[in-house]
Amino acid sequence: MRADRIFGLVRQVLALGHFLSARTIPDSFNTDPVGPRVFPYIIAALTAVCAMVMVLRPDANAAWPHGAIGLQLAVALAVVVEYADLIKPLGFVATTTLAAGMLSFQIRPRPLPALLTGLGLGVGLYALFKFVLGLGLQGLPRALVG
């Protein structure tokens, strides 16, 4: 119970930091009715609400993961952190393929289906974001694009 409250308070501080850092995102030169800050604001608000629920209504039987599950969570966290670092140099498709493939492999350790899942998500999400939603993503690695 106490661990949930501590974790919820830490998440509250991180949500506030996320919100404050989103304020520094410059306005784009395109006239966009929503603007570039709205999505980070929504994420910060949802994080703050979820963290507040953890503080106000902690789980009575909360147990921190141990052993193999703790290791899997640490690997998943490392994958997400590295995803953020590698997306600019490797491009969206390659980085998403690697991350989704690794996370899929953690769920069900079969290499070929994990690779195909990662590739499908990398290419499919790129097509969705680029061609349907019109976002300006760098799909290929920087070295290939120039």
Question: Which pLDDT band holds residue 2 (cuts at 50, 70, 90)?
Answer: confident
Q: How far apart are CA 144 and CA 112, in angstroms?
A: 26
List, for residues 57-109, the tens digit of each pLDDT value. Answer: 988 887 778 898 989 999 999 999 999 999 989 999 999 999 999 999 999 99
Q: How far apart are CA 16 and CA 44, in angstroms?
A: 7
Tell me if residue 99 falls in helix, strand or coil: helix
Q: How far apart are CA 83 and CA 73, in angstroms?
A: 15
Q: Which is more confident, 17 or 132?
A: 17
The domain segmentation of the chain, as residue ranges, is 1-64, 66-146
pLDDT for res 53:
94
Q: Which is more confident, 52 or 4?
A: 52
List, for residues 17-41, the tens digit of each pLDDT value. Answer: 999 998 998 877 665 666 778 888 9
Q: Compute the C-alpha angle 42/45/49, nearest 5°.
A: 140
| Tokens at 111, concatenated | 């290499």
DSSP string, 60-97: TT-----HHHHHHHHHHHHHHHHHHHHHHHH-HHHHHH
Q: How far apart are CA 19 and CA 119, in angstroms?
A: 32
